Amino acid sequence: MAAPREAPERRLFGRRFLTDPARLFQHNAWDNVEWSEEQEASARSKVQENSSQLLPQDKQEDYELNAKRYWDDFYKIHENGFFKDRHWLFTEFPELAPNRNPSQNGDCVHEFSNKEESNHEGLGSCENGHCSLEIRAENQLNLIKNTAKICTEELAAQKYDELNHSDGDYPGSSASYRILEVGCGAGNTVFPILQTNNDPGLFVYCCDFSTTAVDLVQNNAEFDSSRCFAFVHDLCNDQSPFPMPDGSLDIVILIFVLSAILPEKMQCIVNRLSRLLKPGGMILLRDYGRYDLAQLRFKKGQCLSDNFYVRGDGTRVYFFTQDELDDLFTTAGLEKIQNLVDRRLQVNRGKQMTMYRVWIQCKYRKPAAPQL
């Protein structure tokens, strides 16, 4: 249908465009939106402006040293009410539930091709740099307020010692399909996997830097210790052991996690994770892309280094290019299956706001063992 003659004027990144309001507010999102040269130049200019003033080195060191505390505080404040359950995962990453029926778990039009979505009031707004694409409209996870034993790094180390002395007896050792989610938060990836993948041979590991986050997972009504093992783990500490041996995992999931890590430490982390994979196993990643709305909304004085920022709550975020991620994974010996940019136009109906999101999605596989 042709647009009205006098369509209202909107502004995107400081640039004007005309749009049909009937079309604009009947839908919430468009996938694979092409950017004009003008739009890209405007985004680049905003990044140059907000990164022109770096935080002093002593403050940068404080954010690194106290990273765990900032994430603990984040989860104490938000518990499991900030992030949405990620049912879009099974369309983007069918490897998480290979035998799944496509009609399961809400594959419907309102999920916008099963990608990240927001609640109807908060679409596109950012709180402390966390964009509301991840904010939940209501709590769907029923948190039980009782005390549970946390699997600390010490317990993980104990399990690792048991592994070395008990002929392969470790959590999930009898499973035939093993998935690890790194940076599990309150469980918004883990629980959809456990609900959707009914493979009796499935075992899911999940870990987080934040003790509070792991506590939320273990105290959730959906947590099943016979199918899942949650533990605290510091990815940046290469002496911190995993409870499973190298070469034992089919899938490692990194959803908006690698971006929270100091860029200089990313390669070592990807190297460690790649060693956990079986031959043919894969790392699945979705994370922030360069010039995403969240990057453009940072103010001067929040930049730590190129494309790396600190939010108002002390947590940090990096914005990737495809080439940067490709270098990380191929240097770790993995082969590319997928590396794409998802540029998306989102609309907030209530506020009549339009905004662009930029995410990068990757799949990298460990080469199969050579035939003898």
* Cα 287 to Cα 259: distance, rounded to the nearest angstrom: 7
Residue 149 domain flag: no
Q: How confident is the model at residue 148 (pLDDT cuts 50, 70, 90)?
A: very low
Asked, for residue 125, whether it belongs to a domain, the answer is no
Domain contains 138: no
Residue corresponding to tokens 């860029």: 263
Specify if 124 maps to a domain.
no
In a domain, 136, yes or no: no
262 part of a folded domain: yes
Q: What percent of the chain has pLDDT over 90?
A: 45
273 band by pLDDT with thresholds 50, 70 and 90? very high
Say what the pTM is: 0.74
Instruction: Tell me if 139 is assigned to some domain.
Output: no
Q: Is residue 126 one of the residues assigned to a domain? A: no
In a 13 Å sphere around the CA of 91, the CA atoms on its Cβ side amount to: 17
Quote the number of domains for the chain: 1
Domain containing residue 275: CATH number: 3.40.50.150
Mean per-residue pLDDT, 286-313: 92
Bridge-based pairing of strands 202-208 and 177-182 is: parallel
Is the pLDDT at 159 greater than 70? The verdict is: no
- Which residues constitute the domain of residue 86? 21-96+170-366
List pLDDT tens digits, range 57-110.
Answer: 888 777 777 776 765 676 666 555 445 556 678 889 999 988 766 555 444 333
Q: Give the C-alpha separation, 157 to 178, whole Å.
A: 19
Distance CA 311, CA 293 (A): 14
pLDDT at residue 139 greater than cutoff 50: no
pLDDT category of residue 145 using cuts at 50, 70 and 90: very low
Whole-angstrom CA distances from 13 to 24, 37, 349, 355 are 17, 12, 18, 8
Count Cβ neighbours within 10 Å for each residue of 88-99 and write b for 16 or more, e otherwise.
bbbebbebbbee
Task: Provide the pLDDT for residue 71.
Answer: 58
